[in-house]
Amino acid sequence: MSDTGTSDVIGRRVEVNGELATVRFSGIVPPVAGLWLGVEWDNPERGKHDGSHEGTVYFKCRHPTGGSFIRPNKVNFGIDFLTAVKNRYILEDGPEEDGKEQVVVIGNKPVETIGFDSVIKQQSELSKLQDISLRSCAVSGAGDKGGIAKACPNIRKIDLSKNLLSSWEEVICIADQLQHLEVLNLSENKLKFPSVSPPLTGTFSSLKVLVLNRTGITWAEVLQCASAWPVLEELYLESDNICISERPTDVLQMVKLLDLSSNQSIDENQLFLIAYLPRLEQLILSNTGISSIHFPDAEIGCKTSMFPSLQYLVVNDNRISQWSFINELEKLQRLQALSCLRNPLTAASPDSKEAQTTRQLIIAKIGQLKTLNKCEVLPEERRGAELDYRKAFGSDWKKAGGHQDPDKNRPSEDFLAAHPRFQLLCLKYGAPEDAEFQIQQPFMLKNQLLTLKIKYLNEMDQKVLEKQLPDSMTVQKVKGLLSRLLKVPVSELQLSYESPKVSCPAKCKANPSSPLLASDSSCLPVTLTANGITCLPGSVPVVLFLTGRVHRTCFVRSVLILSPSTFVLILDAGQRNYTRK
């Protein structure tokens, strides 16, 4: 193939029967005569030894069976860039034969082709090619200087993945000749990167996308080379065993997308080093084994200054098992989309009830999230999720010191740390009522009954009647029942009730907040709309107030506490135009 005599082959990438390897040794291996190349295979199972033969160490391998000795004539050292382009895009047959297209017959049926002539013609005009792919074409170098610039100067996108490029300098030689290069894919080339910053030549002046998946590049090398990528927007570093070791200063400032998936050694401390990239919008951390994150600069409920532009975060296939991870994400200023699939936290099968609950919790915990696992979060879904969350953790909140009265509301630090948005949600929807904490009972008549305490205020002794009624009973029916019980005509019955949410005894006199009149058509429990309370769940004891006469004109006659949970009685005379004071 090419010269193999001297030591300059060491470090070169070679291909042998489709397997890729790096040359580590060249010379004589006694007792067998002749020149041998010692190679380290990319696939460690392909080799036989670790570079030593009969006790002599010729070269070293990372893997004990990663090495082999091979005769130089069996090794393909690769071809130059331009030859590869020509091989791929220009038919070997040349123009003489192009009239007769080869007809492929498969089985006993020919394959008809359409438009192949024109495609071949178009592709063979190398100077017009913009987007080329040379994957697995055994490209090892740039070839003659200036040759690429002359033949195909318009290239904007190159896929050079899985080739035999051995060093970053070769890449520079190729890229140097391509003024318009915007997308460069160098995946699966085991490149040797320079240890010092290469001189700035303006080679990658328009490069926007760089793909370095499975190249074995280190973070330090990325930073060394990065000064040459002034406008780079997307950087892909999948499966590179990256360990972020230092903070990028003055480089990578334009990067919008960073793919760090399948780098198993990334942890939260390393992420802080890239936390101040000003434009980073999308961060892909799939399959990195990350399990926790904590932004130390922000208190609970505050926003962090880290990742100032981050909009989309992908943390699929990780080891996230704690809700604190999700709580911390709430601190990001711009986070709009999250993908968090196949983590211990979200591992339940996707259609199950638990998965739904997990989704709801994530939505409730991250306020500005617009897309979760690629599904849009619609306003109704958010509202439902937040209400459920508020209810589900209401009793914890109460135990931790929460209180419906804002003055007494002192939830513990622990609770706030576990539920940073809870207080905010209480403000948004009102604090949860005691009755909401009750766990739903199985469906039995016994559990469906409400205990009503009924007071007939016209009677001087104010005797309290207690009745158990099903919650599906309409007010009309209740009135009928009461009229029979109390022997008052239905038309003269006026019911009113109040829940502790609406007013508390102390404030009642000052502000007789309107007792909500139960209308005949509504069910018991009646929906309350004042002060943001939407409904009373099933088993709230409701207190009814009765007046026999319609023409009474007092607003608040008496206030009574019936139980420790401060039920308030307000007597209303039932005049039509009830006015608030």
Residues of this chain that bind another protein (CB under 8 A): 88-89, 91, 102, 104, 106-107, 109-116, 118-120, 122-123, 128, 130-133, 135-136, 154, 159, 161, 185, 187, 211, 213, 236, 238, 259, 261, 284, 286, 314, 316, 339, 341, 350, 359, 372-376
The gap from C-alpha 541 to its chain's centroid, in whole angstroms, comes to 44
Dist. CA 489–CA 194, nearest whole Å:
97
- How far apart are the two ends of the chain, measured CA to CA in Å? 100
Q: Which is nearer to another protein, 236 or 295 (CB)?
A: 236
CB of 336 to another protein, least distance (A): 10
Q: Which is nearer to another protein, 133 or 218 (CB)?
A: 133
CB of 357 to another protein, least distance (A): 13
CB of 102 to another protein, least distance (A): 8
The gap from C-alpha 574 to its chain's centroid, in whole angstroms, comes to 56
Dist. CA 173–CA 147, nearest whole Å:
11
Q: Which is nearer to another protein, 1 or 257 (CB)?
A: 257
Q: Which is nearer to another protein, 304 or 316 (CB)?
A: 316
At 468, which amino acid appears?
A: Q
The count of other CB atoms within 10 Å of the CB of residue 481 is 15
List the one residue out of 142, 209, 207, 159 whose CA is nearest residue 181: 207
| Three-state SS annotation for 513-562 | CCCEECCCCCECCCCCCHHHCCCCCCCCCEEEEEECCCCCCCCCCCCCCC
Query: Is residue 334 within 8 Å of 309, Cβ to Cβ?
Result: yes
CB of 349 to another protein, least distance (A): 12
CB of 407 to another protein, least distance (A): 42
List the one residue out of 489, 476, 480 whose CA is nearest residue 521: 476
Q: Which is nearer to another protein, 261 or 503 (CB)?
A: 261
Burial of 547 (0-12, 13-18, 19+ CB in 10 A): buried
Dist. CA 224–CA 301, nearest whole Å:
38
Q: Which is nearer to another protein, 271 or 571 (CB)?
A: 271
CB of 253 to another protein, least distance (A): 22
Q: Which is nearer to another protein, 19 or 434 (CB)?
A: 19
Q: Which is nearer to another protein, 227 or 336 (CB)?
A: 336
Beta-bridge partners for 314: 284, 339
Dist. CA 377–CA 163, nearest whole Å:
43
CB of 153 to another protein, least distance (A): 11
- Can you read off the two tokens belonging to residue 231? 């406008």
Q: Which is nearer to another protein, 350 or 532 (CB)?
A: 350
CB of 131 to another protein, least distance (A): 6
Query: Is residue 138 within 8 Å of 112, Cβ to Cβ?
Result: no
CB of 44 to another protein, least distance (A): 22
